[in-house]
Amino acid sequence: MLRPLLAVLVCLLPLPAAAQTPGPEITRAARALSAMWRPIEGAATVEQACAGALEEIEAVEAALPPVVTQQSLARVRALRGLLIVPTEDHQVAYFFPDASMSWFTSGMGAIAVINEAEGFIGVRDAGGRDIAFQLGRGGEHALLRIRNPGGQILNFVGCAPTWRS
């Protein structure tokens, strides 16, 4: 299911002339972020929030344009939540937010660890906007908090991992 998406997106990855090996903290952060994140609001259970997550990954994959460029990827949106697809370079990933996050540009973005102990990660989206992420756990579930440009905190639960070893 996810293999064709990954194969297409990995082909787009620009490889620097002198690639640097990222530290273990960026590798851990990239793996932790790589998932279909669904919004968790009000009294919704994790099961309710995650309903349809795998189908949503398939929908994003089906929406990929025949000619993949940063401009064409900017038009691809998740249906509900945020899909983060890893690359071989753990310092970048593909981000596909839903339409409610119109300020978050879809496409390849950069990942930087700000404070691993507290789960703070900096993301620079495909449009160059810096976005604060915080990873955490709630029982058995991975949680993600994102601060939008208006200062509001958006809460997500990790529903379907996209990381493959």
Per residue in 92-106, pLDDT tens? 999 999 999 999 999
| Total tally of structural domains belonging to the chain | 1
The interaxial angle of helices 53-63 and 3-12, nearest 10 deg, is 50
CB atoms within 10 A of CB 154: 19
Would 9 be classed as within a structural domain? no
**pLDDT tens digit sequence for 46-87:** 999 999 999 999 999 999 999 989 999 999 999 999 999 999
pLDDT, tens digit (0-9, with 9 covering 90-100), for 128-138: 999 999 999 98
Give me the domain span that covers residue 83: 23-161
Query: How, if at all, do strands 82-86 and 35-39 pair?
Result: antiparallel
Burial state string for 73-93 with b = 16 or more CB within 10 A and e = fewer than 16: beebbbbbbbbbbbbebbbbb
3 in a domain, yes or no? no
Phi and psi at residue 101, to the nearest 5°: -105, 55
For range 158-165, the mean pLDDT: 82
Any domain includes 14: no
pTM of the predicted model as reported, rounded to 2 decimal places: 0.85
Residue 153 included in any domain: yes
